[in-house]
Amino acid sequence: MYVVVSYDIPDDRRRTRVCNTLKNFGARVQYSVFECRLKPKDFRRLEKALKRLVRPEEDNVRFYFLCQECLEKVRVIGELRLPPWQQYYVV
């Protein structure tokens, strides 16, 4: 599955921990946005790890699940940062 994870966390320490956790699961494409290609069990691990770090009353973490058809419709303006699993380029 392909998941885009975005977060808004006001506390610097928690934000750094969330970022470091996400680096283990995907590629950072913007300051608070990661793109992750995950197996269902890996998504469950990621969600569990983030639940331990996040304070729901203060923080916001969002997961957007993209199907293959939706993924093919993604367009980028600006610097193109491809995740390491990208094996080809569409020109």
Specify the pLDDT at position 22.
96
Number of H helices, E strands in the chain: 3, 4
On the question of pLDDT at 89 being above 50, the answer is: no
Let me know if residue 13 belongs to a domain: yes
Let me know if residue 27 belongs to a domain: yes
Q: Which domain holds residue 46?
A: 2-71
Q: 73, 19 in Cβ contact below 8 A?
A: no
Predicted model pTM: 0.83
Residue 31's domain is classified under what CATH number? 3.30.70.240
Q: How does pLDDT run across 35-64, given as a tens digit for each residue?
A: 999 999 999 999 999 999 999 999 999 999
Instruction: Residue 2: name the closest of 44, 47, 35 by CA.
Output: 35
Average pLDDT of the chain, as a whole number: 89
- Min mean pLDDT across 29-33, 62-66, 70-74, 82-86 is at 82-86
Dihedral pair phi/psi, residue 2, rounded to 5°: -110, 125
Let me know if residue 83 belongs to a domain: no
